[in-house]
Structure 1
Amino acid sequence: MKPVELYIKTTCPYCQRALQLLDDKGVRYSTVNLLQFPERRDEMIERANGRTTVPQIFIGETHVGGFDDLNALEKAGKLDALLA
Structure 2
Amino acid sequence: MYTTAVCPYCVAAKNFLKSKGREWTEVRVDLDPAEREKMMALTRRTSVPQIFVGDTHVGGYDDMIALHREGKLEPLFEGEA
- Residue 50 of structure 2 is matched in structure 1 by 56
Asked if 1:39 corresponds to 2:41, the answer is: no
Residue from 72, 77, 80 that aligns with 1:78: 72
1:27-82, Cα deviation, whole Å (9 max, x unpaired): 0100001122222111001111x111000011111110000000111111211101
The unaligned stretches of length 5 or more in structure 2 are: none
- C-alpha separation between the residues in 2 aligned to 1:43 and 1:27? 24
Structure 1 runs of 4+ with >2 Å offset: none
- Aligned with residue 10 of structure 1, among 5, 8, 30: 5
| Structure with more contact order per residue of length (Cα contacts < 8 Å, sep ≥ 6) | 1
After TM superposition, the score normalised by the length of structure 2 is 0.91
Aligned residue for 1:30, secondary structure, equals coil
CA RMSD across the alignment: 0.8
Q: Which runs of 5+ in 1 are unaligned?
A: 1-5
Q: Tell me if the contact between 2:50 and 2:58 (Cα under 8 Å) persists in the aligned partners.
A: yes
Counterpart residue number, 2:62:
68
Identity over aligned pairs, percent? 44
Aligned residues between the structures:
78
Structure with the larger strand share: 1
The equivalent residue for 1:29 is 24
**How many Å separate the matches in 1 of 2:37 and 2:56?**
18
Paired residues of 2:30 and 2:36 also in contact (CA < 8 A):
no
Other structure's SS at 1:18 match? helix
